[in-house]
Amino acid sequence: MTVRFWRRSRRTRKPNLIGVGLGLILLFIVYTIRNTWFPPPPPRVPPPSKDILHAVVIPKTRWQNVQWAYDLMPRWTPYVYSVDGETSYDLRLPANRGREAMAYLTFIIDNYDTLPEITAFVHGAHYQWHNDGAGSRTTAILNHLRMGAVERSGYVNLRCNPVPGCPTSVTPFKPTEEDIRSHDVRVDFPDIYMHLFNVSRSQVPARIGAVCCAQFAATRSHIRERPRSDYIRMREWALTTHFDSKVVGWVFEMIWHVIFQKDAVL
């Protein structure tokens, strides 16, 4: 009986191994075709930010093709950060931590004195489920963005649908029992908020809420309402905290609107 079962197990494992092998071969073929038919752009050195009216900051992985970003020129000038250190891209990050937050903060810190009039901050993938209004393509979102609205508000989220995120994303002083049991970052949110914004506990909002997904545009003057030292402190926390990269990115996604001087519940 044992021998028969073991033989059956070996037979069932063979198709699984074949499936894994075929999957890896297919992945290699897709990757090869992608880089043959849609090669990455030639090495580009972004121009000095002081000469730019509208910039778009884009963190990308080696798997993402961002040729679409260069199709936005001349209206938008791309500043592409390769999180994997690809030599085709001149801009570098201190570490691949915090998902898109590391690129966003690094651009602001490095260009604080020479920021473009308006900067958009977006993800590397062209098609995004959270893009709406003008469709799922980021190029459509940016081409339809009304600069006058950005200038009047100082900061705008690039998503129109308020769900998810509104009306409340985080209640810093009311973590759930599950949050406490699992040591979720929400338990530490008051302390994180105090450190990032250099405020007292009494200044931590009871509720935080805004449209999701960490894609937005901000004006030079609005970004500079916060001193450069604030952005440096925030990036240093992202680089040194014990929380993993995904969690760090989530924390910033919850508070970008607060960073840019909007109410905690937007």
Supply the pTM of this predicted model: 0.83
Q: Give the pLDDT confidence of 212-246 residue by residue, as tens digits.
A: 788 999 999 999 999 999 999 999 999 999 999 99
Model pLDDT, residue 35: 47
- Cβ-in-10-Å burial (0-12, 13-18, 19+) of 3 comes to exposed
Parse the chain into domains and list their residue ranges. Answer: 1-37, 49-259
Rounded distance between C-alpha atoms, residue 182 and residue 169, angstroms: 18
Q: Give the pLDDT confidence of 104-113 residue by residue, as tens digits.
A: 999 999 999 9
Q: Does pLDDT of 164 surpass 80?
A: no
How big is the chain by its Cα radius of gyration, in Å? Answer: 22
Q: Does pLDDT of 5 surpass 50?
A: no
Rounded distance between C-alpha atoms, residue 235 and residue 109, angstroms: 9
Model pLDDT, residue 166: 53
State what percent of residues in the chain have pLDDT above 70. 77
Rounded distance between C-alpha atoms, residue 218 and residue 216, angstroms: 7
